[in-house]
Structure 1
């Protein structure tokens, strides 16, 4: 066997030993013939060197140009086999377990961004595992089992990824875009890793200079992601554009309407929802139903109105029987939701029907039980 740097490694080389991830999982097995995709995987996991089968002569190495079709077929077969293994493994775990693993990984990626490459393959794999459990995820109801206010940014990223994945489906984007949109949601705030965290977490009103510095997270994020492989331009542009507004009042480029990438328009809706419904160091969480009403107001000139309407309609669908706490602290059960007023259902409180459409001073403060 011969130890070889990843920099010098070429497609066609055969591994002389198993390659493991930093977490101890098998990444590539002994005897594996390296494909172009495998080089991306090794770089994503920050592997520096591998052992190559020294008995393999240069003449025996397949030519990437001659055997590209064969390599593509083999790569697709291996990826399918890896995903089937992921599915089988995920069936033995719960949504909450995989969610917690995702938080650990995205926290590590944020903390190391700039110093190391983004571990995109590891992040994508864990995201796909989490998506396998997505039927257990309800946008309005899910609350992380353990969340610290100072970890708000990581939870916002993961929840925005999941909600963006659902929104991509609901908006009828091609299936090839769904995971990419989820990655866009996961990484949209990666530029915050280069901002002074005291500014990000500050409970005080920022000065103009401080506000301008925080706004740079969009361009920082784009610059971090533009060198990352295995993501498309929509993911990169989402980091840059998720604070743009339909009417041109956003930043950093003051784009208008369809000039904003569809991924960024989807992620903007999901991001705002979770930003307002999660506890932050400087602000308490708000009722998801009240937040939906505020997002509806934002859709006039700020957010994409079609995406907002789809989001509100689908997020509030089939919630009859949900136990809720009203803003006057009374407990009741949702018995009917009017399609024209999805955030203001009828609630049965001790035998009395409360129509939240008519009683505008009341709203659903908290979802207690589905």
Structure 2
């Protein structure tokens, strides 16, 4: 490995390979920008050299690419001292962005493989599902504010596999907030990953239909929970506590769901959690029969129109974490600046902390600008925006 003088490192620099403090201790992963706090940490510990096999990664600064790589164009991450806790949140999310993206893609690929094999009645090894469940659980247990990265993903591919992947992340976020142990988190992850295997037995002409379903087609959809449960317990032979989410995730807290019309705590806790995560993910995702809604509208729906559907205690727990304007969603402030919600303020869900991405003239900012709406009480959120539209130059 070649040596790099710390004095030559600058904020925003990225390398094609990981950078190490020594032969064993990682400093930053590949394609991760160095921040001011990283350099301060090196200085504080008296480190004058770091090691890497890589080279400096040159970023094409074509402004037409701003919509997909906003972080790549930040040239200064210096903020006021009172905003350093927020900067710490931003730095960590930026540091784990590549790791999260890879984890999401690997989960999507696994779900796709498993569901296709179930659809074709093929035998498969369940071990990778458990391993992925452990990886997902450990990742969510380790990191906070992950909705920022989830909502920032532009996910190609079949919507059902994206739906399962995103819902699993959100379910694990809820499990973490409920202080689940690691074994409970792993079980939650596994049960979520296979929760919709029954949908593979619904003909695509029905599941992907854009017109209104007939009564018979709707009944076919309703059967997917029982079919999924039977596949998991009889064919794959996983334990009932993992398969029950497939059976119960469309039950309602008020007893008006399906297939058994059970209510309240008769519904297993993991199924109540997944129902919330699945509903939120479904609302913010384009489906064959309808367009997605903004994350803010999804939250409003879940705490108002769909009030009888969910365990409200769990919904409130979820809301405290993701905010009424969910972490990762895009908003316009009263001074016409546009930003992405970086962190929720549990006591004041209408006043989260924001990372500004556009100034009042609609120009992308090149400095890290953070706003805590609890402290900046002269500002307020005017409206929620579509993130993809707001970050597009078209």
Q: TM-score, normalised by structure 1?
A: 0.63
| Preserved CA contact (<8 Å) 2:233 2:243 | yes
Of residues 256, 262, 267, the one that matches 1:260 is 267
Give the Cα separation in 1 of the matches to 2:353 and 2:184: 37
| Preserved CA contact (<8 Å) 2:167 2:274 | yes
Give the Cα separation in 2 of the matches to 1:143 and 1:188: 21
Alignment partner, residue 216 of structure 2: 209
Alignment partner, residue 125 of structure 1: 131
Can you list the C-alpha shifts for 1:308-347, whole angstroms capped at 9, x where unaligned? 0000101239989x88344999543469966455256598
Give the Cα separation in 2 of the matches to 1:264 and 1:140: 24
Does 2:189 correspond to 1:164? no
Of residues 134, 142, 146, the one that matches 2:150 is 142
Give the Cα separation in 1 of the matches to 2:251 and 2:184: 21
Alignment partner, residue 101 of structure 2: 96
Alignment partner, residue 107 of structure 1: 112
Give the Cα separation in 2 of the matches to 1:192 and 1:132: 28
Of residues 348, 361, 366, the one that matches 2:387 is 366
Alignment partner, residue 258 of structure 2: 251
Alignment partner, residue 68 of structure 1: none
Q: CA deviation at 1:233?
A: 2.3
Alignment partner, residue 86 of structure 2: none
Does 2:338 correspond to 1:332? yes
Aligned residues: 272
Of residues 219, 223, 234, the one that matches 2:230 is 223
Give the Cα separation in 2 of the matches to 1:119 and 1:177: 22
Distance 1:335 1:130, change over 3 A: closer
Distance 1:192 1:233, change over 3 A: same
Give the Cα separation in 1 of the matches to 2:103 and 2:342: 33
Q: CA deviation at 1:232?
A: 3.8
Can you list the C-alpha shifts for 1:247-294, whole angstroms capped at 9, x where unaligned? 111011110111101010000000001111122233222221221111
Give the Cα separation in 2 of the matches to 1:174 and 1:126: 17
Distance 1:176 1:272, change over 3 A: same
Higher radius of gyration, 1 or 2: 1
| Preserved CA contact (<8 Å) 1:346 1:355 | no
Of residues 179, 184, 205, the one that matches 1:177 is 184
Give matches, 1:1-370, under 5 Å. 94-113=99-118, 115-134=121-140, 135=143, 138-143=146-151, 145=153, 147-148=155-156, 151-227=158-234, 231-298=238-305, 300-316=307-323, 324-326=330-332, 330-333=336-339, 339=346, 342-343=349-350, 345=352, 350=360, 353-356=378-381, 362-366=383-387
Distance 1:337 1:242, change over 3 A: closer
Q: SS state of the match for residue 176, structure 2?
A: helix
Q: CA deviation at 1:227?
A: 3.2
Can you list the C-alpha shifts for 1:61-81, whole angstroms capped at 9, x where unaligned? xxxxxxxxxxxxxxxxxxxxx
| Preserved CA contact (<8 Å) 1:221 1:240 | yes
Q: CA deviation at 1:216?
A: 0.5
| Preserved CA contact (<8 Å) 1:299 1:305 | no
Most deviating of 223-232 and 296-305: 223-232
Most deviating of 262-271 and 126-135: 126-135
Q: CA deviation at 1:355?
A: 3.4
Give the Cα separation in 2 of the matches to 1:336 and 1:101: 26
Most deviating of 340-349 and 185-194: 340-349
Q: CA deviation at 1:146?
A: 5.2
Can you list the C-alpha shifts for 1:187-243, whole angstroms capped at 9, x where unaligned? 111100100012111111111111011110000110011136785423211101101
Q: TM-score, normalised by structure 2?
A: 0.60
Give the Cα separation in 1 of the matches to 2:235 and 2:129: 12
Q: SS state of the match for residue 147, structure 2?
A: coil
